[in-house]
Structure 1
Amino acid sequence: MTNPKADSSRPAEYDGDLAALRGDCARMVPHWAVPERAAARPVPPSLIHGVRVPARSARLLDAMSDYGD
């Protein structure tokens, strides 16, 4: 990273610009492993169980036009 003096107990503050961030990412590319391509398969609804949505959250989402309409 651009800020080598960062304390590991707290997040580092980035003091560079977008070009510096892109350079940091480009240098990290060789360290990232690419997983084998896995085919995404839909999960049948019968296998989805145990999910509970609190009524308060459901009412909140229902009141939002993006979700409730």
Structure 2
Amino acid sequence: MTKLEVPGTALIDPDTDLASLRGDCARMVPHWAAPVKSTPPHVSPSSIHGVSVPPASARLLDAMSDYGD
């Protein structure tokens, strides 16, 4: 693997740095608090009357093969 030189820093080995970053993250996990999950309120289908889509967005989606075809 090629070592990259960045001005003002030591040589960087991407493999070593990734392993070091993963290790740092693993050590920090106990310090991170997960947010409390909240469930969104239930919306009955009868209360949904339609969706307004701006013309520019509709043209964009129409041009995408995943959605328009």
TM-score range, shorter chain: 0.3 to 0.5
Larger radius of gyration: 2
Q: TM-score, normalised by structure 2?
A: 0.47
The higher-RCO structure (CA 8 Å, 6+ apart) is: 1
Q: Which has the higher helix share?
A: 2
TM-score, normalising length: structure 1: 0.47
